[in-house]
Amino acid sequence: MRIRGNPDRVRAVPATSGAPIPARDTAVAPDTLPGAGALRAGQAPGAWPVVGHLPDLLRRPLAFMDSLPAHGDIVRVRIGLRDAYVLCHPELVRRVLTDSRVFDREGPLYEKVRAALGNGLASCPRADHRGQRRVLQPAFHHKRLERYAQVMSVEVETLTDRWRSGQVVDAVDEMFRLTTAVAVRTLFSSDFPAPVAEELRDCLDVFLRGVYTRVLMPAVDAVPSPGRRRYRRALVRWRALVSGIIAEYRAAGVDQDDVLSLLLAARDDSGRPLSDHELCDQVALLVLAGAETTSSALAWCVQLLGSHSDVLDRLQTEADTVLGGSIATWDDLPDLTFTHRVVQEVLRLYPPAWAITRTTVEPVELAGEQLALGSMVICSPYVIHRRDDFFPDAAAFDPDRWQNGHPHREAYLPFGLGANKCIGEAFGLAEATLALASLVSRWHLRPLPTRSSKAAPRSVLAPGSLPVLVDARLPTPRP
């Protein structure tokens, strides 16, 4: 039987006075993991009674995360009355993400995601994971990617055809529009009206904006408010739209060579087809996992290129040489090597999955820290990717650091690792590379000054908004 985490048994740091609780740093003996050296357990300073570090996590989450490695490799923080442990060392992350028997996908985030979007591959606990991964794996087979890449190229063209020189667009919205269109059109290739695709996208947007707040402050749902109504309405509408699409597929009964057709034909370990409910869950979670991650990577690319003209020049030269003004296709990918390095580097500085959470399903010791049953563990690629000891001059945007491989590959975790490692890694990388090369080939994108272009971490790390002035450019024709 699967043991569920029991949050009541989590140790709470006693709130002794109105003042922040001071830091504690404890050096411990070397962990058993190779190469880790002496891992340190510590505690983040500044926890307030009752709310703990919630104000930091809500108001300045990245600055707060940036401050944690100074306090240890595993750092205890308080979220309300609960303890959570942020892992700042790749060896600890490896131990957690490769041991789902002890560190499972349980806890408040997954409860919220499952309650909202269901029990799909990106949200299910260990007990359901193997069977679900087996069902979905063929949809991500390399030979299918070529077909998905055709959709990507068409959607990049459709998106940018709407732009006019001199127009200001929000790059965050536009990239999200692109990647949801790609996700929706690769899941369901059958033609449904553009307004339906737009509505799916809007529902997802409301959900993604709402879920981070709900994880940190579950009480927001206890009070009736326009935000709560909007959030619930979006979820109901999303499910209704997806159910409608599934019903149409069943009625048509033809293999449309897309992800939904594959799921309709799939059988679970006992030979049973997936129910409508299970199909709905898978579809929702695939769009959720695939769309905003890739769109936020692309939005960060646009933002960073705005302040790194040397990198932009090299990107444009590569795009001109390889594409000569055309939209990039699958066949161009092997030649877009610098573009690929830019994407890799952006995923290092701004990993969309900035905090991957697990919950202990039995008490365990980690680097000298005793974790009670039900403790939340946060693996943060964001924190690890910015450590100077793994990535020299870590704050610098330097795509060339990837030119000859990287000495600390194990510290680069934008796609996670272990059994839950991203199933869509090749999909996301192909999409980001094709889109970026096509965009810089045909357009100058100039970010405009704004106060909200700084990171606004939701469940995914994305810029808040990013207004850019778009101007058509004349690429050098392909030689």
Query: Is position 175 an interface residue for ligand HEM (rule: CB under 6 A)?
Result: no
Instruction: Decide: is 311 part of the binding site for ligand HEM (CB under 6 A).
Output: no
CB distance 85 to 366 below 8 Å: yes
Considering the complex, state which of residue 412 and residue 427 has its C-beta at the smaller distance from ligand HEM: 427
121 binds ligand HEM (CB under 6 A): yes
Among the listed ranges 318-326, 363-371, 404-412, 416-424, the one in contact with ligand HEM (CB under 6 A) is 416-424
Indicate the residue among 25 and 257 with the shorter CB distance to ligand HEM: 257
Of 79, 80, 82, 91, residue with least CA distance to 28 = 91
In the list 422, 436, 461, 462, the residue contacting ligand HEM (rule: CB under 6 A) is 422
Binding mask 123-162 for ligand HEM (x = CB under 6 A): ----------x-----------------------------
Instruction: Give the CA count within 13 Å in the CB-facing half-sphere of 131.
Output: 16
Quick check: helix, strand or coil at residue 125?
coil
For residue 402, CA distances in Å to 6, 300, 340, 341, 399 come to: 43, 18, 10, 6, 6
CB of 239 or CB of 348, closer to ligand HEM: 348
User: Coil, helix or strand for 189?
Assistant: coil
Least distance in angstroms from the C-beta of 8 to ligand HEM: 24
Choose between 297 and 466: whose C-beta lies nearer to ligand HEM: 297
In the complex, least distance from residue 68 CB atom to ligand HEM, rounded to whole angstroms: 19
210 lines the binding site for ligand HEM (CB under 6 A): no
* Strand ranges across the sheet with 168-170: 168-170, 467-472, 443-447
Residue selected from 294, 316, 359, 375 as contacting ligand HEM according to rule CB under 6 A: 294
Q: Which stretch binds ligand HEM (CB under 6 A): 53-61, 189-197, 351-359, 465-473?
A: 351-359
CB-nearest residue to ligand HEM: 424
Which residues have a Cβ under 8 Å from the Cβ of 462 and sit 6 or more positions away?
172, 292, 295, 296, 299, 300, 352, 455, 456
Contact between 435 and ligand HEM by CB under 6 A: the answer reads: no
Burial class of residue 140 (count of CB atoms within 10 Å of its CB; 0-12, 13-18, 19+): middle
Kindly tell me which residue out of 238, 382, 412, 427 binds ligand HEM, with binding defined by CB under 6 A: 427
Could you say whether residue 286 binds ligand HEM (CB under 6 A)? yes
Q: Residue from 20, 416, 464, 467 that binds ligand HEM (CB under 6 A)?
A: 416
- Contact between residue 108 and residue 60 where contact means Cβ atoms under 8 Å apart: no
Residue 79 β-bridge partners: 52, 82
Q: Does 464 bind ligand HEM (CB under 6 A)?
A: no
Strands 376-379 and 82-87 come out as parallel
Are the beta carbons of 69 and 88 closer than 8 angstroms? Answer: yes
263 in Cβ contact with 121 (< 8 Å): no
For ligand HEM, which residue of 21, 87, 109, 122 counts as binding (CB under 6 A)? Answer: 122
Instruction: Strands of 421-466 (E only): list them.
Output: 443-447
Task: Choose which of 43, 261, 293, 453 interacts with ligand HEM (CB under 6 A).
Answer: 293
Longest dimension (CA), the chain: 72
Point out which residues bind ligand HEM (CB under 6 A): 97, 121-122, 133, 183, 286, 289-290, 293-294, 297, 347, 352-353, 356, 414-416, 420, 422-424, 427-428, 432
